[in-house]
Amino acid sequence: MDKLLRKNWLVKIISFLIALMLYAIVSAGEGPSTSPSSVVVSPTQEMSVTEKLNVIYDSNKYVVSGVPQQVSIHLQGASNLILKARLMNKSAYIDLNGMKPGTYDVKVQTKGFPSDLSVKSTPKVVRVTLQKKTSKEFPVAIDESGKDKMGTGYKVGDLSVSPKTVTVTGGEEVVNSIAFVKGIVNVKNATSDINQTVPLHAYDNSGDPLNVVIEPSAVNVQIPITGLSKTLSLQAATTGNPAKGYTISSIDLSSQKATVTAPDAKTLGSITSIDPLSVSVDGLKSDQTFTVSVPVPNGATLVSPEKVKVTVHIDKSVTPSSASTNSSLGSASAVTASITKKFNNVPVNLVGLKNGKQATFDSGGSVDVSVTGDASTVDSLTSGDIQAIADVSNLSSGDNNVAVSVTVPDGLNAICNPKTLGVTIS
């Protein structure tokens, strides 16, 4: 045996086997054991989680304010317990049961966490106010913003809101501090009727919003946009005569059209023309430009542009002698100046009324007629030469609008105002 132990290779083999056995023994001790006496120690960990802060109180009688929505919960303990806590149904809360109205510093409590875990809340205490719950009815106010920036020719009509009142619920002190409940509608650049659902908010005397419950929380608001406009052509009519030996060759307008604005669609529909721009050419021997105001039609509230420039071009008259000596002028006769004459309160005759029916005008029964044409013819015209007719043959019983037509001697143009009249058939 002594000789064998002196062999180096044998000693190395034995040493290796011994080391291998020791390694196996140590490895077996570190692994899991089914022995009742074995103990596994988990490392300690820390973690913070955010929890919603619940409030326990009688919500039928009280309102609570000042409660933070969330609190931070600091956990400390074994890692397996922290993991378990994250999976459990847990909560943070304050308990106000049995308390009377007032302000309190209340401790934040927790439940649902493992008992061996250290659980601390931040903040530990919250200050809350408990108020008696009350409800009160308030009228609804609506602010119309942007009224100074309405579209051209439009304006805001009288709004309607539904419902007109709402019920506000909250703490007694807060509800008593409410000055008004209102919503806001933007009417900037509006060109058509507005129909919106508008959310409401309650405000105190300083205009600060208040935390209350409004029922309903929104109302329906309808706002008519009543201003309307349309574009009509412009014409010019001359009065008087140029100087002897001169005639009008043409008339130019700086704007051929104008925009007419009326307060409502019905009135706008009755406006079909703008009276001719009147320009005096008495004694003119050369071209001249006039600045003329555009007439505002009956019922209209605005016309744009308000003024236009009218240029009258004057030429020398062509005499028979000059026509015979200069063939290039041909046989054209001199241009005769035209004028416009207005006849007020021309009676309108009803035609086409069915047997057994009666027709009455809602108001008046007459129109104003402007006649344009040759100066000498128009000057000699009388109201008896003008006939205004309204055909009611196709109208049904009740209230109607009927168009008015005007007849004048040949060669003349006539415009009546208004173009339609209200008539009741019975």
* CA dihedral sign, ordered 207, 208, 209, 210: negative
Question: 286 and 212 in one domain?
Answer: no
pLDDT at 321: 42
Which of 302, 335, 368 delimits the end of a domain? 335
pLDDT at 412: 84
Q: In this structure, what are the phi and psi dihedrals at residue 256, rounded to the nearest 5 degrees?
A: -90, -15
First to last CA, the chain: 148
Question: 155 and 113 in one domain?
Answer: no
Q: Token pair of 55, please?
A: 């409030």
pLDDT at 382: 83
Among residues 303, 297, 304, 301, the alpha carbon closest in space to that of 419 is found at: 297
Question: In this structure, which amino acid lies at residue 213?
Answer: V
Q: Domain total for the chain?
A: 4
Q: Token pair of 279, please?
A: 């320009």
Question: 208 and 144 in one domain?
Answer: yes
Q: Is residue 19 part of a domain?
A: no
Assign residue 384 the CATH number of its domain: 2.170.120.30
pLDDT at 330: 32
Question: 297 and 350 in one domain?
Answer: no
pLDDT at 416: 85
Q: Which domain, by its residues, includes 412? A: 338-426
Q: What is the pTM of this model?
A: 0.46
Peptide bond into 305 cis (omega under 30): yes
Question: 99 and 143 in one domain?
Answer: no
Which of 72, 94, 123 delimits the end of a domain? 123
Q: Token pair of 381, please?
A: 């015209």
Q: Is residue 11 part of a domain?
A: no
Q: Token pair of 351, please?
A: 């035609």
Among residues 408, 406, 344, the alpha carbon closest in space to that of 378 is found at: 408
* CA–CA dist 244, 261 (Å, integer): 42
Question: 235 and 219 in one domain?
Answer: no
β-bridge pairing 125-145 and 180-186:
parallel
Q: How far apart, in Å, are the Cα atoms of 374 and each of 8, 116, 141, 341?
A: 149, 114, 62, 11
Please identify which residue in the block is written with the tokens 């570190």.
Answer: 30
Q: Token pair of 83, please?
A: 């993991």
pLDDT at 238: 84
Among residues 174, 290, 151, 160, the alpha carbon closest in space to that of 229 is found at: 151
Give the pLDDT of the chain (426 residues) as one tens digit per residue.
555 555 566 666 777 677 667 655 545 444 444 434 333 445 678 888 899 999 999 989 999 989 999 999 999 988 888 888 878 888 999 999 989 999 999 999 999 888 888 999 999 999 999 999 999 999 999 999 988 887 666 778 889 999 999 999 999 999 999 999 999 999 988 878 899 999 999 999 999 999 999 999 999 999 988 777 888 888 888 888 888 888 888 888 898 889 888 877 788 888 888 888 888 888 898 999 999 999 999 888 889 899 999 998 888 875 444 443 333 333 333 344 567 788 888 888 888 887 778 888 887 788 888 888 877 787 788 888 888 888 888 888 888 888 888 888 887 888 888 888 888 888
Q: Is residue 158 part of a domain?
A: yes
Q: Is residue 358 part of a domain?
A: yes
